[in-house]
Chains A and B, each alone.
Chain A
């Protein structure tokens, strides 16, 4: 399986994502600079966490208009799995691949700690490694993680089973405790918490390793 990690100016979880992908696939991903216009041949794209463009204008707003994003949007629309973690989630909403927006945390604080998530839907490539209703522990580290969408959109996400992960104890005011959602085709996931930071007992947990292993296996089917 070939994977790619997009690197924006001020991405800071790109190398963590690369380590997690190499652990799951046995091969290092292609690291693709944002100014490139074409993605290499790839079966999975990761938009990593960070503070692309210093969060100027709005978190993810500038990155979403980067040259490489045209190619990412094209691949996503053609069905290639794409995941956006933290800043990557913000970029996916700004690029229009996922609905809603991520606002400043309700408590104003930057939240940096491990949170417990409930797996709401395991019927997709993104959480097939987990049981529905089981909990996983991933760290969060963000200032703008407060998911917002109008009521109609939230109702649609619920009824279509597109809420993949929910916070057990909401750290940021996110609507309906949303931590991660997918698009209607089921190939694009946005997730505020960081599975790539818990891929070894040395890092404090392995739930992230299970996440990537499950994703890679499901995407290869």
Chain B
């Protein structure tokens, strides 16, 4: 299976990079861009063929390394 993990800062956690991007967008004339937040995407392949098991495995990875629950949320997409 393939996994795609999206890691974002929790709402309420200051995202200065998002703010800087927003400022640059405004400078380019995209005045309506608001609440810009920057996150990251991690993709991987897994040997696991069962979707539920693959998801559980990636959850474990998120908890142990890929996301920091103090400041980040994550979501997981599993595909064949």
Number of A-B residue pairs having CB atoms within 8 Å of each other in the complex: 37
Assess the B66–A103 pair: CB atoms within 8 A. no
B1 part of interface (Cβ distance < 8 Å) = no
Q: Which of A61, A65, A104, A108 contacts B68 (CB 8 A)?
A: A61
Q: How far is the CA of A105 from the CA of B20 in the complex (A)?
A: 12
Query: Given the complex, which residues of B lie within 8 Å of A105, measured CB to CB?
Result: 16
Q: How far is the CA of A150 from the CA of B14 in the complex (A)?
A: 13
How many residues on the B side are at the interface (Cβ–Cβ under 8 A)?
Answer: 13
Q: How far is the CA of A101 from the CA of B14 in the complex (A)?
A: 12
Query: Given the complex, which residues of B lie within 8 Å of A57, measured CB to CB?
Result: 65-66
How many residues on the A side are at the interface (Cβ–Cβ under 8 A)?
Answer: 20
Assess the A108–B14 pair: CB atoms within 8 A. no
Assess the A106–B13 pair: CB atoms within 8 A. no
Assess the A106–B16 pair: CB atoms within 8 A. yes
Assess the A103–B65 pair: CB atoms within 8 A. no
Assess the A108–B71 pair: CB atoms within 8 A. no
Give the distance to chain B from A34, nearest Cβ to Cβ, in Å. 16
Assess the B14–A94 pair: CB atoms within 8 A. no
Assess the A103–B71 pair: CB atoms within 8 A. yes
Give the distance to chain A from B25, nearest Cβ to Cβ, in Å. 16
Whether A148 contacts B16 in the complex (CB less than 8 A), given A57-B65, A94-B68, comes out as no
Assess the B70–A108 pair: CB atoms within 8 A. no
B17 part of interface (Cβ distance < 8 Å) = yes
A214 part of interface (Cβ distance < 8 Å) = no
Assess the A148–B70 pair: CB atoms within 8 A. yes
Assess the A101–B71 pair: CB atoms within 8 A. yes
| Residues of chain B at the chain A interface (Cβ within 8 Å) | 13-17, 19-20, 64-66, 68, 70-71
With A103-B71, A108-B16 already in contact, 11 other A-B pairs whose C-beta atoms are closer than 8 Å? A65-B65, A101-B68, A101-B70, A101-B71, A103-B13, A104-B16, A108-B19, A108-B20, A146-B14, A148-B71, A149-B70
| Residues of chain A at the chain B interface (Cβ within 8 Å) | 57-58, 61, 65, 93-94, 99-101, 103-108, 146, 148-150, 173
- 24 sample A-B contacts, Cβ–Cβ < 8 Å, listed by A number: A57-B65, A61-B65, A61-B68, A65-B65, A93-B70, A94-B68, A99-B70, A101-B68, A101-B70, A103-B14, A103-B71, A104-B15, A104-B16, A106-B16, A107-B16, A108-B19, A108-B20, A148-B13, A148-B14, A148-B70, A148-B71, A149-B70, A150-B70, A173-B14
